[in-house]
Amino acid sequence: MFRFAHPDLLYLLVVIPLLVVFFVVVRTRKKKAIAEFGNPELLATLMPLQSYKREAAKFVMVLIALFFVILGVAGPQFGSKLQQVKREGVELIIALDVSNSMMAEDIKPSRLAAAKQAISRMTDKLTDDKVGLIVFAGDAYVQLPITTDYSSAKLFLSGISTDIAPIQGTAIGAAIDLASKSFTPETEASKAIIVITDGENHQDDAVAAAKAAREKGIYVHTIGMGLPQGAPIPEKGNPGQFMKDGQGNVVISKLDETTLREIAKAGEGIFVRASNTNVGLNTLLDEINEMDKTLLEEQVFSDYAEKYQYFLLLALLFVLVDFMILERKNKNLLKVNIFGTEEKNVND
């Protein structure tokens, strides 16, 4: 089979007939200009090195070279080839807390912003692993099904904010349960869940959920976002103002490290406490990279073999031929009379 990768570029071929018209017009005007001085046959004796045939030949070489250049840049592709693509890695789902407490700024620029930045950097380091994204507050939602499309993962990640959760709270257990159901069905790939949260005001049995996940062969890791001393929660739409309780006191959100350690222990994972210099995803990524890699996908597909280089080589060949053809006759060769014929004062 044959096709062009960029067929739109073939419209450039219209330049060739335009150049032919231009060449003919210029050459005609040139002959008329010479004829104004006298008889062309007599004037030819005054211009013994002039050669119209050589000019035409050089022009034809340039046109042919241009023709092959245009074909080359259009991307000619011949036949097809079969290629197998194998992916060996693990399946990883990140459960990200988007409750209001994640807006606290004890982790700069905020707990949520720092977590998003760390996830984005971690995604850049993934190769053949699958990644999925779940957000949770009072309930859990799948933000991105598990995939190897890391560009989509970063795109979905950029749109995450506390506004996407209609119900406030910290349903860590619901997030772990949903993540456990979101892996690729009937796969033997190693699986891990990373829960990123401050752990505050959790409203379900997250430890039991982590144990249930581990029974399914899924490891559960936790990252604690926040510092032990805690921080106030900024009030939306009111810069410099903080959320207050029913008594008018500023609410201080603190990291519940104890709960997150228990969750990680139940899921046979590890707990990492974030700081202003390190969120902890790199530590977990090292742990995940030590997990057994499994064949996740094996794809066989057809593709076309690129052949543009042959067309460009042909174009280069005709350019070289054009370079070798002189515009004028060689005066030294004119003295050579191989066949002993009489010299003629006509253009070749």
pLDDT of residue 347: 46
CA angle 159, 160, 165 (to 5 degrees): 130
Q: How confident is the model at residue 307 (pLDDT cuts 50, 70, 90)?
A: confident
Does the structure show a pLDDT above 70 at 38? no
d(C-alpha 138, C-alpha 165), whole Å = 8
Judge contact between 201 and 102, C-beta under 8 A.
no
Task: State the helix-helix crossing angle for 111-125 and 150-158, rounded to 10 degrees.
Answer: 170
Q: Are 227 and 114 in contact (CB under 8 A)?
A: no
What is the C-alpha separation between 183 and 93, in angstroms, rounded? 8
Extract the tokens encoding 60.
């034809």
Q: What residue has token string 């399914």?
A: 216
pLDDT at 69 over 90: yes
DSSP state of 244: B
Q: What is the mean pLDDT of the chain?
A: 84
Reported as a pLDDT band with limits 50, 70 and 90, residue 345 is: very low
Q: What percentage of the chain has pLDDT greater than the value 90?
A: 47
* Residue 48 scores a pLDDT above 60: no
Strands 130-136 and 218-224: unpaired
Per-residue pLDDT of 311-327, as tens digits, reads 999 999 999 988 888 76
221: CB partners within 8 A, 6+ apart: 192, 193, 194, 195, 264, 267, 269, 270, 271, 272, 284, 287
pLDDT at 31 over 90: no
pLDDT at 298: 62
The answer on pLDDT for 342 being more than 90 is: no
Residue 305 has pLDDT above 80, yes or no: no
* pLDDT value for 288: 81
Amino acid 80: pLDDT = 66
Give the end-to-end CA distance of the chain in Å, rounded to a whole number: 44
Flag the least confident range among 84-88, 102-106, 133-137, 140-144.
84-88
Of residues 83 and 290, more confidently modeled: 290
From the centroid of its chain, how far is CA 69?
Answer: 28
Q: Which of 21-30, 51-60, 129-138 has the highest mean pLDDT?
A: 129-138
Query: Can you read off the two tokens belonging to residue 311?
Result: 């067309």
Contacts (Cβ under 8 Å, ≥6 apart) of 104: 110, 111, 198, 226, 230, 231, 232, 233, 234, 253
User: What confidence score (pLDDT) does residue 264 get?
Assistant: 95
pLDDT per position as a tens digit, 247-263: 889 989 999 999 999 99
Q: 281 with 121: CB under 8 angstroms?
A: yes
Q: Indicate the pLDDT class of residue 128, thresholds 50, 70 and 90.
A: confident
Largest CA distance in the chain: 121
Distance CA 220, CA 297 (A): 24
How much is the average pLDDT of 56-85?
85
Indicate the class that CATH gives domain 86-299: alpha beta
- Maximum mean pLDDT: which of 44-53, 141-150, 240-249, 291-300: 141-150
Tell which wins on pLDDT, 297 or 57: 57
- 134 or 27, higher pLDDT: 134
The reported pLDDT for the residue numbered 328 is 59
Give 177-231 pLDDT, tens digit per residue: 999 999 988 888 889 999 999 987 677 899 999 999 999 999 999 999 998 889 9
Q: Let me know: does 109 contact 48? Beta carbons within 8 Å.
A: no
Average pLDDT over residues 104-123: 93
**pLDDT interval class at 333 (50, 70, 90):** very low
pLDDT value at 337 more than 50:
no
| Domain boundaries along the sequence of the chain | 2-75+307-334, 86-299
Residue 200 has a pLDDT of 78
pLDDT exceeds cutoff 60 at 170:
yes
Percent of the chain beyond pLDDT 70?
A: 83
